[in-house]
């Protein structure tokens, strides 16, 4: 963690793909060379489903838990607190429980890979069970941080009936063990809480990544370990494709890394277009979720894109303000007149100056130069990161990612260390 991964020089040729592009990835798949595709998914794959995040001040799930008098929001996923007061967790569970949300087109794309015999394995950080609802075979899924798919007594470890669990959750009641002998222990879904072990299957099947001939990474910050380390297990010659709002982890540092930055579903649709699968993908997705839900998800995607554009526009205005201020100070120092920028002189959408402030003299070159080489791009990236990934090492993310770092003492350890 914390290691800096420099992006590959654009002059470095790929070793496996014909080019670092989405069309080259499609060409690679269609050629039959990609037969063992490993997919890694995180919060971003479920964004369009409408699952609320944890930290929005007014609408986040943590904000809605404030009335329950938690010592801190993260306590809802703390096993020690759960043993004392399980009610807050079950308030949360009622909101997140399977059946309340529908799979996205990204989920269905992974199902399509499975149906075509190309999916080697899916590793997900999400607890929402949307992979299962999308129709991805259960034996192809590793839910690294657990899920609502099963539940058991925290004392005797006896499994609890799923239908009964659903009834308890729908009523907002806390279930207890019904095992003969009077255990009466609290029942909890098999979601990994702070300090709990990750599923043994996660460690047993990591070799699947080593066997992969293509790795697709969708909607994850790659900051929560040990899950984040999976992507680095693939052989260097194996193409890795990132569908995410921003570059993360080591993605982009190898010769055959392809970065598809932006909305996750939009990126997946681009790949489906190149593969010639778009019509089949959309038909399966709409058939699964229904026309009304499909349109709701599409409208939500448009709003997210518009919000991102608004954010970039605001940042451009702030940069322009800085440019004005810098020019004004320079002129004041020189005792000369202060120029102001007309609308034609404003930076364009790519951060380049359209006109020069003072065409008559080289001394004003500080404003002439393109803004493209300033930190405006970095600023946009940082802003997006702040919006979409809040301290993932310290708590579950918007889709219920586990908090935890690998236990000091080895990657093979099943225990996770609480970061509370």
How many CA atoms lie less than 13 Å away from 14 in the CB half-sphere? Answer: 17
SS3 state of residue 315: helix
Place of tokens 């959750």: 169
How many CA atoms lie less than 13 Å away from 9 in the CB half-sphere? Answer: 3
Structure-block tokens of residue 353: 């100056």
Q: Does 153 belong to an annotated binding site?
A: yes
* Beta carbons within 8 Å of 416's beta carbon, 6+ residues apart: 192, 194, 195, 196, 197, 198, 402, 403, 404, 405, 406, 407
Q: Kindly provide the residue ranges of all beta strands, DSSP E only, lying in 252-296, ordered along the sequence.
A: 257-261
Total residue count of the chain as it appears in this document = 420
Q: Does 156 belong to an annotated binding site?
A: yes
Structure-block tokens of residue 358: 């003072």
Spatial CA neighbour of 130 closest among 285, 278, 271: 285
Q: Please identify every residue annotated as catalytic.
A: 145
Helix axes 278-289, 264-275, angle to 10 degrees: 130
Q: Does 264 belong to an annotated binding site?
A: no
How many CA atoms lie less than 13 Å away from 153 in the CB half-sphere? Answer: 14
Q: Residues within the annotated binding site?
A: 153, 156, 177, 183
Q: Residues within the annotated binding site for Zn(2+)?
A: 153, 156, 177, 183
């Amino acid at each position: 963690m914390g290691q800096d991964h420099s992006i590959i020089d654009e002059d470095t040729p790929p070793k496996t793909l014909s080019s670092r592009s989405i069309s080259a990835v499609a060409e690679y798949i269609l050629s039959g060379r990609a037969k063992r595709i490993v997919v890694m998914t995180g919060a971003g794959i479920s964004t369009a489903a409408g699952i609320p995040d944890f930290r929005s001040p007014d609408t986040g799930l943590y904000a809605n838990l404030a009335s329950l008098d938690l010592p801190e929001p993260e306590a809802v996923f703390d096993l020690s607190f759960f043993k004392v007061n399980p009610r807050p967790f079950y308030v949360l569970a009622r909101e997140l429980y399977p059946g309340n949300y529908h799979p996205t087109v990204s989920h269905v794309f992974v199902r399509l890979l499975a149906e075509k015999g190309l999916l080697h394995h899916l590793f997900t950080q999400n607890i929402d069970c949307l992979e299962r609802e999308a129709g991805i075979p259960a034996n192809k899924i590793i839910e690294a941080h657990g899920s609502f798919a099963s539940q058991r007594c925290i004392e005797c470890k006896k499994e609890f009936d799923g239908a009964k669990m659903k009834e308890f959750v729908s009523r907002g009641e806390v279930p207890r063990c019904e095992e003969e002998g009077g255990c009466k222990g609290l029942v909890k879904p098999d979601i990994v809480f702070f300090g709990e072990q990750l599923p043994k299957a996660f460690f047993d099947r990591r070799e699947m990544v080593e066997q992969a001939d293509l790795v697709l990474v969708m909607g994850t910050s790659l900051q929560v370990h040990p899950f984040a380390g999976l992507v680095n297990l693939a052989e260097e010659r194996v193409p890795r494709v990132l569908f995410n709002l921003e570059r993360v982890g080591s993605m982009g540092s190898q010769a055959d890394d392809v970065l598809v930055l932006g909305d996750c579903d939009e990126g997946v649709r681009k790949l489906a277009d190149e593969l010639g699968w778009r019509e089949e993908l959309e038909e399966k997705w709409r058939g699964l979720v229904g026309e009304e839900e499909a349109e709701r998800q599409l409208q939500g995607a448009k709003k997210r894109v518009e919000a991102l554009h608004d954010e970039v526009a605001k940042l451009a205005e702030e940069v322009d303000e800085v440019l004005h201020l810098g020019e004004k100070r320079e002129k004041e120092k020189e005792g000369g007149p202060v120029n102001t920028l007309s609308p034609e002189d404003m930076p364009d959408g790519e951060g380049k100056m359209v006109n020069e402030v003072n065409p008559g003299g080289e001394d004003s070159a500080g404003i002439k130069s393109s803004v493209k080489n300033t930190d405006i791009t970095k600023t946009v990236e940082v802003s997006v990161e702040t919006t979409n990934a809040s301290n993932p090492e310290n708590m579950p993310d918007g889709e219920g990612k586990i908090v935890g770092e690998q236990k000091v003492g080895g990657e093979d350890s099943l225990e996770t260390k609480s970061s509370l």
